Amino acid sequence: MTQCSILDRRTVVSGFRMDLTLRCDDEARIAIEGPVGGVETRRIAMLVQALLAAGARQLIVDLAQVESCDPALTAFLEQQQRHLVAAGGWMLVDGAPPTPGDDASTLVEIFEIYRHVRGLARPTPAAIDQHAGAAVSN
């Protein structure tokens, strides 16, 4: 039976917080809280790359408590996820943090979509086009 030790490491900088938990030689969990901009994205990327270089093959990245997120973080994590899967590992990214421009809807457009879904009215084509991806991702 493999013996596993647990290491917890926490970093807090101006509202941004990163918690790292290591289990065994190949398992890690990173929990992130607060706003994530360019600087924070680079810190997270350095940590993920260091974990992978050290042999981590099972990664959980918890973004559920992220207030706002640089789109570069999501792109980076998706890229690393593909590399890990190709190497026989996995990465689970939990939570979908909001990125700038995620929801530029007006209340009128939101109510049009609601009425359409409920069968009460017909939304404009622009409202349907703008929210087609949002409905699929939710």
User: 97 versus 33: which is more confidently predicted?
Assistant: 33
CA triple 128-70-137, angle to 5 deg: 30
Cα dihedral 85, 41, 63, 110 sign: negative
- State the pLDDT confidence band at 2, using cuts at 50, 70 and 90: very low
Tokens of 62: 């918890």
User: Do 79 and 37 belong together in one domain?
Assistant: yes
For residues 9-19, average pLDDT: 70
Are 65 and 132 contained in the same domain?
no
Residue 112 belongs to domain spanning: 107-137
pTM for the structure as a whole: 0.62
Distances (CA, A) of 12 to 17, 19, 33, 116: 4, 9, 9, 45
Instruction: Give yes or no: residues 80 and 125 share one domain.
Output: no
Q: Is residue 30 part of a domain?
A: yes
pLDDT tens by residue, 50-88: 999 999 999 999 999 998 888 899 889 999 999 999 999
- Apex 102 CA angle, 104 and 109, nearest 5: 35
Q: How many structural domains does the chain have? A: 2
Q: Identify whether residues 85 and 115 lie together within a single domain.
A: no
113, 82: one domain:
no
Same domain, 90 and 113: no
Better pLDDT: 102 or 30: 30
